[in-house]
């Protein structure tokens, strides 16, 4: 059946034709949408057949409705020949992540490498805490397991178990752990995250062989991976489910209140489930009546991160400096903005009145010197 005579299809500009789909990629003001209903055009390339490049209706822009990867959307007036369409509505999101920007995700799968580069426990903790804030299910994959002894693999899996997470040792060389990963990802919309250079793109290439994503090498100087993924994109898993590949980043932020940090450590929550501290706002440092055992592995990380976010959160530590280096500028319609304050006498132009006064003083001095 030709595209022109396909039942239910209408050319661009017609009314009444709409389909549901999922946003798989966002670039600038264009959105790649995979439609739910298969379109049988006799093509073996089902991926391109079911995908439309869409824009966003002007009404959505006026309403301030954003469109994210993972969004369930309604596409109007698809142009089957040109592969184009327009997003007219965004369905209610079940979940939403700001960084990476992904909607309707159900779990997060972190990938860290056991070697080249080796795991930094504090960096891993940052990623885990960032994932904990989402309240989603969390899985951990330890890649490049073939480069370390089996004892090292067991040690890291046991450590993460004590932290409160299930870890899977992975090797793409001998396909170790791939079956467990496929089972965990099946039927889920999973956000794949982790530092650069740990093998996320290589893992996706094994899970979805036809993609052939570009991979990168680890810097020999900095012992960190080079970025290969530039934007978030969704891929269909052969066993069912969607996988969101996200750009790697080495130092995720922790924009949380200091009082909420303890809730993101499973080790602390396990202890507090048996006995509560004397004070409700206990930070589990040296407060009297604190029941927290300080002998667990990540306690020093907890203290370090608590000090860091406390310094970031306390406005009194920055307000004086900010006030001295910035000033309020009133723009049109009374809108106020902060802008840098220039150092006085260094950048400020001398007024004409001062210039004239200086010239008058010089002239007077010259007259005084010329007098006998």
The reply to whether 4 sits in an annotated binding site is no
**Which residue carries 């592995």 as its tokens?**
297
The reply to whether 157 sits in an annotated binding site is no
Tell me how far CA of residue 106 lies from CA of 138, 185, 189, 200, in angstroms.
9, 10, 5, 19
The reply to whether 146 sits in an annotated binding site is yes
Return d(Cα 265, Cα 263) in angstroms, integer.
Answer: 6
Return d(Cα 356, Cα 198) in angstroms, integer.
Answer: 68
pTM: 0.72
Contact (CB, 8 A) for 111 and 191: no
The reply to whether 196 sits in an annotated binding site is yes
Pairing assessment for the beta strands 189-193 and 242-245 based on DSSP bridges: parallel
Q: Which two tokens stand for residue 152?
A: 């090292």
DSSP letter for 69, please: B
pLDDT at 39: 58
For the segment 71-75, the average pLDDT, to the nearest whole number, is 95
pLDDT at 355: 62
**Cα R_g (the chain), whole angstroms:** 29
Structure confidence by residue, pLDDT tens digits, 108-125:
999 999 998 899 999 999
pLDDT at 101: 87
Mean pLDDT of the chain: 80
The reply to whether 54 sits in an annotated binding site is no
pLDDT at 217: 46
Return d(Cα 372, Cα 72) in angstroms, integer.
Answer: 94
Q: How confident is the model at residue 351 (pLDDT cuts 50, 70, 90)?
A: low
Q: How confident is the model at residue 323 (pLDDT cuts 50, 70, 90)?
A: very low
Non-local (6+) Cβ contacts of 43 within 8 A are 49
pLDDT at 348 over 60: no
Cα 323 to its chain centre, rounded Å, is: 31
The reply to whether 17 sits in an annotated binding site is no
- CB-count burial class (<10 Å; 0-12, 13-18, 19+) for 99: middle
- CB-count burial class (<10 Å; 0-12, 13-18, 19+) for 215: middle
Structure confidence by residue, pLDDT tens digits, 135-180:
999 999 999 999 999 999 999 999 999 999 999 999 999 999 999 9
Rounded to 5 degrees, what are φ and ψ at 338?
A: -95, 135
Return d(Cα 143, Cα 288) in angstroms, integer.
Answer: 43
The residues pairing with 169 across neighbouring beta strands, listed in sequence order, are 142
3-class secondary-structure state, position 167: strand
pLDDT at 98: 82
Q: What angle do CA 254, 193, 146 make, to 5 degrees?
A: 125
The reply to whether 320 sits in an annotated binding site is no
DSSP for 247-277, written as a single string? ---SS----S-GGGGGGG-HHHHHHHTT---
Structure confidence by residue, pLDDT tens digits, 41-55:
444 444 445 889 999
For the segment 290-301, the average pLDDT, to the nearest whole number, is 92
The reply to whether 195 sits in an annotated binding site is yes
The reply to whether 294 sits in an annotated binding site is no
The reply to whether 278 sits in an annotated binding site is no
pLDDT at 314 over 70: no
pLDDT at 74: 95
The reply to whether 311 sits in an annotated binding site is no
The reply to whether 244 sits in an annotated binding site is no
């Amino acid at each position: 059946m030709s595209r022109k005579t396909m039942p239910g299809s209408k050319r661009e500009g017609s009314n009444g034709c709409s389909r549901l789909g999922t946003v798989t990629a966002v670039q600038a003001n264009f959105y790649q949408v995979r439609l739910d209903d298969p379109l049988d055009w006799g093509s073996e390339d089902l991926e391109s057949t079911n995908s439309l490049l869409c824009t966003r209706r002007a009404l959505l822009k006026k309403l301030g409705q954003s469109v994210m990867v993972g969004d369930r959307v309604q596409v109007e007036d698809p142009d089957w020949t040109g592969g184009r369409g327009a997003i007219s509505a965004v369905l209610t999101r079940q979940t939403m992540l700001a960084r990476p920007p992904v909607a309707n995700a159900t779990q997060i799968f972190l990938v860290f490498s056991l070697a080249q580069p080796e795991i930094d426990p504090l960096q891993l903790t940052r990623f885990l805490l960032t994932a904990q804030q989402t309240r989603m299910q969390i899985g951990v994959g330890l890649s490049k397991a073939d480069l370390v002894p089996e004892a090292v693999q067991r040690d890291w899996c046991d450590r993460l178990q004590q932290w409160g997470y299930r870890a899977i040792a992975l090797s793409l060389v001998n396909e170790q752990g791939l079956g467990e990963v496929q089972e965990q990802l099946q039927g889920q919309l999973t956000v794949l995250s982790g530092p650069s250079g740990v093998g996320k793109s290589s893992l996706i290439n094994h899970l979805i062989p036809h993609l052939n994503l570009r991979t990168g090498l680890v810097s020999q100087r900095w012992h960190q991976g080079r970025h290969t993924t530039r934007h978030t994109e969704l891929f269909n898993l052969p066993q069912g489910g969607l996988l969101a590949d996200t750009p790697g980043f080495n130092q995720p932020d922790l924009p949380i209140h200091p009082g909420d940090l303890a809730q993101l450590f499973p080790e602390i929550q396990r202890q507090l489930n048996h006995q509560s501290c004397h004070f409700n706002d206990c930070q589990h440092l040296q407060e009297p009546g604190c029941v927290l055992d300080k002998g667990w592995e990540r306690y020093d990380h907890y203290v370090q991160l608590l000090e860091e976010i406390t310094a970031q959160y306390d406005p009194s530590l920055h307000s004086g400096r900010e006030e001295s280096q910035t000033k309020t500028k009133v723009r049109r319609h009374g809108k106020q903005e902060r802008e840098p304050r220039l150092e006085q006498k260094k950048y400020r132009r001398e007024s004409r009145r001062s210039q004239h006064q200086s010239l008058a003083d010089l002239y007077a001095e010259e007259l005084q010197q010329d007098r006998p």
